[in-house]
Amino acid sequence: MDYQVRRPDGATVSDRVAIQDLYHSTQGSHQSSEDPAHLLWRMSNQSLLADFIAVLQPRWMEPDLAIALTASSCRFQLDLRPSSLSLRVDFALSIASLGVGDLPLELATADGSLSVDLGGRSVSQSVQKPRLRECVVFEEQLLAVA
């Protein structure tokens, strides 16, 4: 996971420790759960993707073949400027099965994004069609798994 936070003064922070310090310093003055900045901080984690993935899993997952859908990377961009309170998450999804030695064998990937704009009172989400990996299964891998 990669985080980038734009502070209320407009400066951008991407260092993990600096982001944690910023979180702790702002949450002292924003303890109300109705505060928009508090709400954005609470949404800035992978649990935001849970409902999104839950909708895709029945379409892209095949339990009998041990095929599963997971978020393989996430980039969170949190904007705390009062004029543009928003959150954007760009993520990559991995569609994988069990390979040799029960290691994941990635079959396909798909990129997606989710945006929350509190000022505009909007939420948008999108995901691209899955792209098959090149040379995903070699004959010897297929035989080893079988």
In the chain, which residues have pLDDT < 50? none
Biggest CA pair distance of the chain = 60
**So what's the pLDDT on residue 88?**
97
Chain centroid to CA 28: how far? 27
**So what's the pLDDT on residue 139?**
57
- pLDDT tens-digit profile of 19-49? 999 998 877 655 566 788 888 898 888 888 8
Chain centroid to CA 81: how far? 22
Query: Which pTM value belongs to this model?
Result: 0.81
Closest C-alpha among 115, 114, 70 to residue 96: 70
Q: How many CB atoms lie within 10 A of CB 137?
A: 13
**So what's the pLDDT on residue 48?**
84
**So what's the pLDDT on residue 66?**
80
Chain centroid to CA 68: how far? 16
What SS3 class is residue 29? Answer: coil
Rounded Cα distance between 51 and 44, Å, is 14
Q: Which residues of 28-40 are buried (b: 16+ CB within 10 A; e: fewer)?
A: eebeeeeeebbbb
Rounded Cα distance between 86 and 94, Å, is 26
**So what's the pLDDT on residue 135?**
59
